[in-house]
Amino acid sequence: MPLDRQAAVSLRAAFPSLGRTVRGRPVVFFDGPGGTQVHASVIAAMSQYFTVGNSYSHGAFSLSRATDDVVASARGALCAFLNARRPEAIVLGPNMTTLTFQLNRAFGRMLRKGDEIVVTHLDHDANVAPWLALQEQGAVIREVDFDPADSTLNWGELESSITDRTKLVAVGYASNAVGTINDVRAIPDPAHAAGARVYVDAGHCAPQGVIDVQELNCDFLVCSAHKFFGPHPGILYGRHELLEALPAYEIRPASDKVARPIRDRNPAL
């Protein structure tokens, strides 16, 4: 049901950037695939954090504890948003692309020459280029095409591309270019039967519908808050046991374990 004029005006007022005018007329933002504008409540929350205190995490002093609380709250909310079951399954990063490159770097350490990765031509390049980079380590990349008549994946080609050498299938939930929604739930069964993992880019789908990673049965799923009225941080869900198994790239004082409840990691708290 379309919004009435009063509701539309009220909704626009919640996004400060939409208060601008161009040539005397209110702006209209249509670049949803590229991101969204930021809601006033998000701006207020960010301002509050930087006003009250800004600190690194896992320290024993009050500002650090406050930062830990913010991160824990975000993880809890995103856990519910994706039905991840446990906050430790949520990883936050600078953006979805960087998170994918970071995970692919760790994942690549476990690959052997000739291992295969499946990507698709329907995906955003953020879920293609990181995996193509693993060719430097001897990985074989299989690229699945789509039907230009209706912009849907060639499912026969996808299924035949999954072999006993496949280690990962990277696929988009919804195309940010043409809007195609892929039947992502149909992929994990053949992929897992071959011993492969499934990495889903849900960036364009996250603001449009309910995402349940348990129902999807995927191993990893990424999206970005800038697609649903927030800043740019990327969000990664990963099966906890898989995240724990990945080799970590970190500085020596840092833990190489997946995020745990803060007070379990720092007895001083």
Q: Is residue 80 part of a domain?
A: no
Confidence (pLDDT) at 259: 66
**CATH number of the domain that 123 lies in?**
3.40.640.10
Confidence (pLDDT) at 261: 52
Which residue segment(s) compose the domain that 6 sits in?
1-30
Residue range 155-190, pLDDT digits in tens: 999 999 999 999 999 999 999 888 899 999 999 999
Confidence (pLDDT) at 258: 74
Burial 179-202 (b: 16+ CB within 10 A, else e): ebebebeebbeebbeeebbbbbbb
Looking at residue 168, its amino acid is L
Residues 9 and 95 in one domain: no
DSSP state of 176: T
Q: Coil, helix or strand for 92?
A: strand
Q: Is residue 47 part of a domain?
A: no
Distance of CA 180 to the CA centre of its chain: 18
| 9 pLDDT higher than 50 | yes
Q: Is residue 155 part of a domain?
A: yes
Distance of CA 8 to the CA centre of its chain: 30
Length of the chain (residues):
269
- Mean pLDDT, residues 34-52 taken together: 92
Q: Coil, helix or strand for 143?
A: strand
Residue range 206-233, pLDDT digits in tens: 888 899 999 999 999 999 999 999 999 9
Domain count, the chain: 2
228 vs 207: CA distance, rounded Å: 5
